[in-house]
Amino acid sequence: MTRLSEAILFAARCHDGMLRKGTETPYIVHPMEATAIAAALTQDEDILCACMLHDVAEDCGVTEEELAARFGARTAQLVMSETQLCDGDPRLTWERRKRSALERIQNGDRAVKLIALADKLSNLRAIRRDFERDAEAMFSRFHQHDKRKHAWYYLSVVELLRDEFSQTREWQEMRMHAQYVFCGEAQEEGETACVV
């Protein structure tokens, strides 16, 4: 069995019974989608395993040491680069965790940025689907209810990944979803920032 197959089985066990926020969608669909997005851009097994496992520390309490023992030190480090551990009320720590995530993306290498791209594109696909169905009410399911703060975060991610990935379909799709949800459909081509 390949390490990626093992990572898929391990993530499925860790996330078993979990659902995406405010939906009936099994949580495992998200890391599987993120891994498929990453696989369109790389065949690096450490990156693909880290995409599959990117939420097991944050959501399931798996330690970096356990990940390193099972999947190798680089995979474990990549998982931790995408992990936003919560040390208190998630509603009160949201902005601090997101600022830290943006710093990790900004200072990260291509592998770190690729995992962020895959994760955030998967998230934005789900956000757009729910936004088209529920409009502004969809933000009430998150710890942070303020759409403007989500806009700041996701549009910042788009900008931080621009230099590395702007020529890829994946980055362009991420930008399109972010603009649709946070800026409206009338955004000019080539423009990423908007006033929400």
Residues noted as catalytic? 58-59
Distances (CA, A) of 74 to 48, 91, 159: 11, 31, 26
13/167 Cα distance (integer angstroms)? 36
Q: What is the DSSP letter of 188?
A: P
Task: Give helix 147-165 / helix 90-107 axis angle, nearest 10°.
Answer: 10
The answer to whether the beta carbons of residues 53 and 10 sit under 8 Å apart is: yes
